[in-house]
Amino acid sequence: MRKIVSIILLGIVASGISLSLAKIPFGVPKTKVGTHYINEGIKETGATNIVTSVVVSYRGFDTLGEVTVLFIAAIGLGAVLTASGREKMRKTEPASLVLYTGCRLLLPLILIFGIYVFIHGHLTPGGGFQGGAIIASGFLLIYLGCRERRINQKASKLIESLGGLAFVVIGLLGLVFGEYFLFNFLPKGTPNTLFSAGIIPVIYIAVGFKVGSELAGIIDNLIEES
Amino acid sequence: MIFIVSFLVVLMLVGAAAASVFKDLISAVIAAALVSLVATILFYFLQAPDVAMAEAAIGAALTAAIFIIAIRRTKRYEE
């Protein structure tokens, strides 16, 4: 009985969503702001990757909120997991030679790729969040392969805080040199070169360090507990 | 092109259904990671490489790892 009712309810919801979505024309610009970003984005921000110019420049304040949400989530997880006091890590057998060697070979490549992704966030697809997540997956590989290695929790917290602080300070410097928070006060340079787009790469480097150390810290907290 | 995309969508649906059906939670996590992996390819085909990178790193790698660590702490099989 309950299953039949839930299927009927699901059907009603699905038909409602599909009927309302069918009314929206597909592939046609519905707002002016999207066209504006595509046409004027490179000229106004100097970043050739339009997604980055929206995320960091036009909607930079939203990104600050997003970074804060991740920060609070990491802090909350750390508080919940360490509230009972750190247990001693139980002895695990070392990883096999293949896994160990593979991890040692792959880790620097993954880290360099992550750093590349967030430094070139304004030129190529990717950015601080993506690069940070790639770096964190590199640290996950350490925990799989070299189990006795640990990241320095204090250093990771320090990098995390400095990254967040850099974001806010750059935003406030925008108030000092320009007219609004996160104002792009640095020279924009020629588009499509590494040193272009003003504060966008600086902010994305800060975000990349912050997200990478945060996610690595989350993994470290979880592994330490298990 | 449309065939590849529809095949990927079907694969995603199969993965999602498998994740909810499996009694072995590790298999369910692998199926959920498969959904993320296929979603990554779909995002790439739909010309959203930024989202694809985030989905690959967070959805397929980190989420699955965190779930597996959590399952190691609790029970592997669902009753």
The Cα–Cα gap between A76 and A82 comes to: 10
Q: Render pLDDT for A37-81 as a digit per residue (tens, 0 to 9).
A: 888 888 888 888 888 888 888 888 898 899 899 889 988 888 887
Rounded Cα gap, residues A218 and B67, in angstroms? 13
Report the residue of B62, B71, B74 to disrupt the A interface, i.e. the one with the largest count of A CBs within 10 Å: B62
Residues of B (22-61) whose Cβ lies below 8 Å from A? 49-50, 52-54, 57-58, 61
Give the 3-state secondary structure of residue B77: strand
The structural domains of chain A, with segments of one domain joined by +, span 2-225
Query: What Cα–Cα distance (Å) separates residue A176 from each residue in A22, A181, A183, A207, B35?
Result: 48, 9, 9, 21, 47
**Reported pTM:** 0.82
Q: Which of B54, B58, B69 sits opposite A226 (nearest CB)?
A: B69
Residue A91 is predicted with a pLDDT of 58
The partner residues of B24 in beta bridges, in order of sequence, read B77
Reported ipTM exceeds the 0.85 cut? no
pLDDT of residue B33: 92
Which residues does chain B have within 8 Å of residue A127's beta carbon, measured at their own beta carbons? Answer: 50
On whether the CB atoms of residues A33 and A59 are closer than 8 A, the answer is: no
User: What's the half-sphere exposure (Cβ side, CA atoms, 13 Å) at A183?
Assistant: 11
